[in-house]
Amino acid sequence: MSKKKKRKNKKSLPSKKKKSYKSLIITLAVVLILGAVIAVSCIITYNSSPESAGIVKTFTCSKAYNASGDEVELGEVYNLRYDNYQGSMTLNNDYTFTFWMTPGAKDDGLHGGSYTYDKDKDIINATFGNGEKVKFKVARNPDGQVNHIEIPYQGYKVYMS
- Three-state DSSP class for residue 116: strand
Residues 35-89 have pLDDT tens digits of 666 655 554 444 456 666 778 999 988 899 999 999 998 878 877 555 556 778 9
The DSSP 8-state label assigned to residue 71 in this structure reads B
Phi, psi of 144 (to 5 degrees): 95, -5
The pLDDT of residue 45 is: 44
Nearest residue to 48 via CA among 128, 121, 148: 121
3-state helix, strand, coil in the chain (%, to 5): 35, 30, 30
68 sits in the region (left: phi over 0; alpha: psi -120 to 50; else beta) called alpha
The pLDDT of residue 83 is: 52
Task: Compute how many other C-beta atoms are within 10 angstroms of the C-beta atom of residue 149.
Answer: 20
Quote the pTM value.
Answer: 0.64
The pLDDT of residue 51 is: 65
The pLDDT of residue 92 is: 93
The pLDDT of residue 21 is: 73
